């Protein structure tokens, strides 16, 4: 485990010394795939005593929404304070350093004001994303950790989606993050300088692997299944997905159709166990803050990067524009503000960056697109915005006026009236009684897109981009190519899928993909290859396009390999 030299907790200029020493510390806790499935959010079945006591010391935001319901994109958006667009913050493998090149993220900005910045665990999806923003980055193995011999022996795609081995806290992903963060808190206490320490816990991300003692907290048979396991009535097909994250990566999951009630209950049991495991790790951090007597001068913020479906709407995983995918926990406990508060004001994750700046007493960078939540901390009846926005691939969504509306590029729509249907079981987009509501919300989405587009010159200026040359654009950042057959040569051109408003010459490159396919021509984006039998099923190629002036723009090419005819 890498040790941070004590000098890092004091490495800023003497001119900033007196001001920085007065700034509050920040403990920034992220929890992967955490929906508002916590005691402090009203779930009496789950055991989350430590996050609940954090909530008791601060404010719970009941109506907090992520910008994108997938890991890489939502985290890049949150950390840079920028809304997603059609070509920015799109996929799970999004990186801020590519999609928002030159923009100072939260740790980079705070470093300028004397903070020591430490990233432990999963903060960005890619551990190397904006790595220069941090004084130290720690990321131990945090995906598919198995301990039961029968699971270890299985091929990767056949390993189960859950495990409850009888091991200690340090043996799964959360323990090392907790341990390293405690070490950093102790060093920071000794140094006496302000810190921004981020602790990113991956559970309850799949697979639902947690020590047995957390599984034992629950009576499996008492766990309730989703009471709305079917797609909402009238929901467009664009709103529903096949939860490939679960189906394609784990054994025991049917290739199509629903899982059995027994399997669904096991998944819910595993999700709950993982939440309780991470809750225990959060408790260790809070206890250490108290022991070190740092709590009175430390802002503690906890957030889940997006929601998650546990069988609702026929879905598992995230990747949707339903409230179950977009609504996520946000809890802030800050010195000087009243404890035990709750807010139903609409807030979104682009608001986190400006909130931290105001709480820390530092000026705000010019590129930010969210609003500070401090007025709500001062008065929970305050509303700082009347709408929040999310998007996923070609779909855009807005929550306002008690309605949740989404529309897709092909004209598909869905509207849910939360005053009558809080669980989103009836799409009323085709109900003429809601025609004016749909028109109003669709116009609001259009205004939002136009506003964000109008801000691009300022963002480019903040990033230090000289001139007005625009980056190339893909027609879609995720696209399906024609199928390939085992043993038969395939040739694909992707150059028609990208364009450049400035007429710059475009060059293509293959970032990653299966070994059987190669980029044969960079200028035309031509891919050649012959798939072997062991690549049956979905194959994914990450391809990028560059105009020679702007950072390359990536896209995801999906193609199915079928058996030989």
The pLDDT value given to residue 9: 56
Looking at residue 406, the DSSP 8-state letter turns out to be E
The pLDDT value given to residue 459: 83
Three-state DSSP at 430 gives: coil
Quick one: which H or E segment has residue 343? strand 341-343
Which pTM value belongs to this model? 0.86
In 404-532, which residue ranges form alpha helices assigned H by DSSP? 435-454, 456-462
The pLDDT value given to residue 12: 44
Query: Distance between CA atoms of 53 and 533, rounded to whole angstroms?
Result: 54
- Pick from 420, 393, 317, 29: nearest CA to 199: 29
Query: Distance between CA atoms of 449 and 349, rounded to whole angstroms?
Result: 17
Active site residues: 71, 125
- Pick from 409, 419, 453, 417: nearest CA to 438: 417
The pLDDT value given to residue 297: 97
Sign of the torsion formed by the C-alpha atoms of 558, 561, 562 and 565: positive
- Pick from 399, 24, 44: nearest CA to 188: 24
Q: Give the DSSP per-residue string, 192-253.
A: TS-EEEEEEE-TTSSSEE--HHHHTTS-GGGPPPPS--SPPBT--GGG----HHHHTTSTT-
Number of residues assigned to the chain: 565
pLDDT tens by residue, the chain, 565 residues: 334 444 455 444 433 444 666 899 999 999 999 999 999 999 999 999 999 999 999 999 999 999 999 999 999 999 999 999 988 998 888 999 988 989 999 999 999 999 999 999 999 999 999 999 999 999 998 899 999 999 999 999 999 999 999 999 999 999 999 999 999 999 999 999 999 999 999 999 999 999 999 999 999 999 999 999 999 999 999 999 999 999 999 999 998 899 999 999 999 999 999 999 999 999 999 999 999 999 999 999 999 999 999 999 999 999 999 999 999 999 999 999 999 999 999 999 999 999 999 999 999 999 999 999 999 999 999 999 999 999 998 899 999 999 999 999 899 999 999 999 999 999 999 999 999 999 999 999 999 999 998 888 888 777 776 667 778 999 888 899 989 999 999 999 999 999 988 888 899 999 889 999 999 999 899 999 999 998 888 899 999 999 887 778 888 999 999 999 8
Three-state DSSP at 505 gives: coil
- Pick from 51, 47, 48, 49: nearest CA to 219: 47
């Amino acid at each position: 485990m890498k040790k941070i030299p004590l000098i890092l907790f004091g490495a800023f200029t003497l001119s900033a010394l007196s001001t920085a020493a007065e700034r509050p510390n920040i403990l920034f806790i992220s929890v992967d795939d955490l929906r508002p499935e916590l005691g402090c959010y009203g779930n009496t079945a789950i055991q989350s005593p430590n996050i609940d006591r954090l909530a008791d010391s601060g404010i719970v935001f009941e109506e907090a929404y992520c910008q994108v319901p997938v890991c890489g994109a939502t985290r890049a958006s949150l950390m840079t304070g920028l809304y997603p667009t059609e070509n920015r913050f799109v996929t799970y493998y999004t990186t801020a350093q590519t999609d928002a090149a030159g923009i100072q993220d939260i740790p980079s900005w705070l470093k300028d004001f004397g903070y020591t910045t430490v990233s432990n665990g999963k903060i960005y999806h890619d551990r190397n994303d904006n790595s220069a923003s941090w004084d130290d980055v720690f990321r131990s193995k945090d995906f598919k950790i198995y301990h039961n011999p029968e699971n270890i022996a299985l091929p990767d795609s056949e390993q189960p989606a859950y495990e409850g081995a009888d091991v200690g806290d340090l043996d799964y992903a959360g323990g090392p993050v907790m341990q390293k963060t405690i070490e950093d808190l102790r060093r920071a206490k000794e140094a006496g300088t302000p810190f921004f320490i981020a602790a990113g816990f991956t559970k309850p991300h799949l697979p639902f692997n947690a020590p047995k003692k957390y599984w034992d907290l629950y009576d499996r048979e008492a766990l309730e299944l989703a009471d709305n396991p079917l797609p909402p009535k009238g929901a467009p097909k664009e709103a529903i997905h096949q939860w490939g994250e679960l189906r394609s990566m784990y054994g025991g999951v049917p290739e199509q159709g629903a899982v059995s009630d027994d399997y669904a209950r096991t998944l819910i049991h595993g999700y709950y166990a993982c939440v309780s495991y991470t809750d225990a790790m959060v408790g260790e951090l809070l206890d250490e803050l108290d022991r070190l007597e740092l709590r009175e001068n430390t802002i503690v913020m906890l957030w889940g990067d997006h929601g998650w479906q546990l069988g609702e709407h026929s879905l598992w995983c995230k990747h949707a524009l339903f409230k179950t995918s977009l609504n996520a926990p946000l809890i802030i406990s800050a010195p000087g503000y009243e404890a035990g508060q709750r807010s139903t004001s609409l807030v979104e994750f682009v608001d986190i960056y400006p909130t931290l700046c105001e709480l820390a007493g530092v000026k705000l960078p010019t590129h930010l697109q969210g609003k500070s939540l401090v007025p709500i901390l001062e008065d929970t009846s305050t509303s700082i915005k009347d709408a929040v926005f999310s998007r996923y691939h070609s779909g855009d969504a807005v929550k306002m006026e008690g309605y949740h509306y989404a529309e897709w590029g092909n004209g598909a729509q869905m509207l849910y009236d939360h005053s009558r249907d809080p669980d989103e079981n009836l799409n009323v987009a085709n109900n003429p009684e809601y025609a004016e509501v749909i028109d109003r919300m669709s116009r609001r989405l259009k205004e939002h897109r136009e506003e964000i587009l109008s801000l691009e010159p300022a963002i480019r200026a903040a990033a230090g981009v000289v001139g007005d040359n625009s980056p190339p654009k893909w027609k879609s950042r995720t696209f399906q190519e024609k199928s390939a057959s085992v043993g038969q040569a395939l040739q694909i051109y992707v150059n028609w899928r990208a364009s450049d408003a400035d007429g710059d010459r475009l060059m293509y490159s293959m970032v990653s993909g299966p070994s059987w396919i190669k980029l044969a021509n960079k200028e035309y984006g031509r891919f050649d290859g012959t798939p072997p039998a062991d690549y049956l099923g979905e194959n994914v190629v990450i391809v990028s396009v560059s105009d020679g002036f702007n950072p390359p723009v990536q896209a995801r090419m999906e193609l199915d390999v079928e058996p030989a005819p």
